[in-house]
Structure 1
């Protein structure tokens, strides 16, 4: 281990699993991100803020009292208290800074990092959505991923056209190629002098770090790397091939059909954009304005906090006990914030595109897997993980946008057959 400035136990941050991917056969499964493993929602929000303090220290030399945030991770029952204190007094930025979160896994982390600053902060996340009403400003590829294309759709060009430093936020960096790819693309169209690459985990080798130094010299820029943990890894073995018998798509049980909850359009601002899937099927349901997909500023976050708190209190009234809240795909941060306001004994995770090999082995990070066709694009397999039998009383699944009943059927089959008595599907558009 090269750097661990907060002395965080590694087992607190991640577990290991086998990725079903010929390009990269392993996966660091985050225990604080809220993606594959359920977390107390405030834990994920606090981890983004702690990464924000690393940025302030490394880039601006600002010393921040990080003890409460570290305690919020180490003693996770205190995370909600720590998160509430942070929201009352967020950090200040001395200049404009643009934060960019990587889809789909780091959309929530990038937003969490952005949201801990009260001024001068801009946020946008990359997306795999193909939107017809607006042209992408940036496109680039994530070479090791099962879904390589990233696009950026800022509604206003000023998010990129200034000389403001850009903070690229990812949950984990193995080689750093994704960051280098987007830096090249941004620099071609919107040149600037400073980039910051922020991640929970940084596993770049000496050769990978050298590539960062070479790009700095080539483009005459400065790249600052910040993380909660920096180290190196040694990979042995071969990628895991897909085993269809290890995923559950439907488990035969008797259970009630999920209840549909439609959020009020007057309270949640929307954008009337149309997306197309890989078969050119159009979805004309509106997007939410403040997810970060189309860009947002610090004052937008203040309004979003209010919306999420109000909705969390309303949905909390439906609960009967231990509750699982699930975001879907790139739609992570808003469901996480809502879950943080739904009361105690609420856990959060998200569906994902990532195909992971499940196993009951001790200390293995993914115990079970459920597969279904993506409601946004039936040709794209989606998954959810680590949902034990007879563990939760309630589940709330959050969709940014609705779609046809036929396209939701595969996912409904999975949710309807989970051994959770009370099931709710929440649609925003």
Structure 2
């Protein structure tokens, strides 16, 4: 361990699991991100804010009182109160900054880091979707990922056409190659002098750090790294064979039979873009304007917070007990913020493209797994993890866009097989 400025216990931040990936056979499974492991939703929001405080300390040299934010992570029952305090008194940025969250895992982390600032902040997240008749501002590759190609569709390219610092936000950095790839692409089209790479965990080796230094010299830029934990890891062994994992990936399904209740969310400003899946089929249903997919700025935050609070209050009235809220794929932040307003004993996680090997071993991070065809693209396999039997009374699944019943059937089958009495599908468009 090289750096741990907030003295956060590692077991608080992550567990370990094996992933189905020929290039990287292990995964740091975050316990605060709200992706593979259910978390109190405000915990994820507070972790993004603490990363924002780290930016002010590391990059701008400001003294920030992080005591309350750290307490919100260490004593997670306090996280909701801490998050509400942050909404009332967000941080200030001394200059314009563009935050970019990496899809799909860090879309909510990037958004929550951006949202802790009351001024001068812009945010966009990358995507693996292909938008019809919309030329991406940036394309790059995430080489170790299960889905390599990433794109960035910024509705206003003037946000890039400045020398404002760019903050690249990811949950965990192992080698940093993804960050280096996007920096190269941005610098070719929209050159600037400063980049910040922000992550919960930074495991770059000395050799990896040297690559960052070399790119700084080559492009005449400065790259600052900001994280909760900086250390190094030693990897032994090879990735688990794919066939062995797929055979067991859905062995833990339960046997519920409840029907799924469809909820149409209150209308919210939308973007009329169409996506194209891997078979060339179009989905013409609109996207939400304020997810960050096409860009969002500080002045948008008040209305978004108000909308999510109202939605949370409405959905809270449907609860009968302990509730699980699930985002879907890249659509993570808005469901997370809504869940934070749905009362106590509400947990949040998201579906994912990442295939992970489940095991009942002690301290292993992924205990069970459920696979299904993605509602956005039937040729893409999606997963959800760590949903135990007879744990929740209600589950709310949030979809940014609607689709056909046929495309929802695979996911609905998984939901109906969960031993959760009350199941809701919430659609925003």
> TM-score, length-normalised on structure 1?
0.99
**Residue 256 of structure 1: aligned partner:** 258
Separation (CA, whole Å) in 2 of partners of 1:103 and 1:349: 15
Shift of residue 45 of structure 1? 0.3
RMSD: 0.9
DSSP-derived class of the 2:103 partner = coil
Deviation per CA, 1:317-365, whole angstroms, max 9, x where unpaired?
Answer: 0000000000000000000000000000000000000000000000000
**Residue 91 of structure 2: aligned partner:** 91
Does the 8 Å contact 2:90/2:118 carry over to 1?
yes
DSSP-derived class of the 2:82 partner = helix
DSSP-derived class of the 2:73 partner = helix
Separation (CA, whole Å) in 2 of partners of 1:153 and 1:330: 14
Does the 8 Å contact 1:249/1:371 carry over to 2?
no
**Residue 396 of structure 1: aligned partner:** 396
- Is 1:309–2:309 an aligned residue pair? yes
**Residue 103 of structure 2: aligned partner:** 103
Deviation per CA, 1:370-409, whole angstroms, max 9, x where unpaired?
Answer: 0000000010000000000000000000000011111110
Shift of residue 248 of structure 1? 1.7
Shift of residue 11 of structure 1? 0.1
Shift of residue 247 of structure 1? 1.8
- Is 1:174–2:165 an aligned residue pair? no
**Residue 163 of structure 1: aligned partner:** 163
**Residue 197 of structure 1: aligned partner:** 197
How many residue pairs were aligned? 427
Structure 1 unaligned regions, length at least 5: none
Shift of residue 244 of structure 1? 2.6
Q: CA distance change for structure 1 residues 275 and 152 in 2, over 3 Å: closer, same or farther? A: same
**Residue 357 of structure 1: aligned partner:** 357
Shift of residue 162 of structure 1? 1.1
Separation (CA, whole Å) in 2 of partners of 1:245 and 1:395: 27
DSSP-derived class of the 1:60 partner = coil
Separation (CA, whole Å) in 2 of partners of 1:304 and 1:184: 33
Does the 8 Å contact 1:105/1:330 carry over to 2?
yes
Shift of residue 241 of structure 1? 1.7
Separation (CA, whole Å) in 1 of partners of 2:251 and 2:335: 24
> TM-score, length-normalised on structure 2?
0.99
Q: 1:70-89 to 2 correspondence within 5 Å?
A: 70-89=70-89
Separation (CA, whole Å) in 2 of partners of 1:19 and 1:373: 19
**Residue 421 of structure 2: aligned partner:** 421
Does the 8 Å contact 2:253/2:370 carry over to 1?
no
DSSP-derived class of the 2:211 partner = helix
